[in-house]
Amino acid sequence: MYFDTYTMTRVTTAVWYNEVMKIVLHKEDCIGCGSCASVAPDIFEIRDGKVVLKKEPNLNDPKILEQVKLAASLCPTSVIEVVK
């Protein structure tokens, strides 16, 4: 985790991106409910009570991007952030 001096916010180092989109996981807020892993089991899993990526997702694939966005929308604590 580090502090972004431009936006003055605390962020994690878990960032995956392509040319257009990126995924930020705010793991410190994760409650381990597993909603992300249930809708996108090939992308997310719960490990030690926190969300992790199983593999680096190909965000250029529309199906994968849609799964990531669905997981982000279902997260009760907004841990998964998809940013343009």
Burial of 25 (0-12, 13-18, 19+ CB in 10 A): buried
pLDDT tens per residue across all 84 residues of the chain: 444 444 444 444 445 555 567 888 999 999 999 999 999 999 999 999 999 998 888 888 889 989 999 999 999 999 999 887
For position 20, what pLDDT does the model report?
63
* Residue 83, pLDDT score: 84
Determine contact, residues 26/12, Cβ cutoff 8 Å.
yes
CATH of domain 12-83: 3.30.70.20
What's the confidence (pLDDT) of residue 31?
96
- Let me know: does 81 contact 16? Beta carbons within 8 Å: no
From the number of C-beta atoms within 10 Å of its C-beta (0-12, 13-18, 19+), residue 64 rates as middle
pLDDT given for residue 19 in this prediction: 56
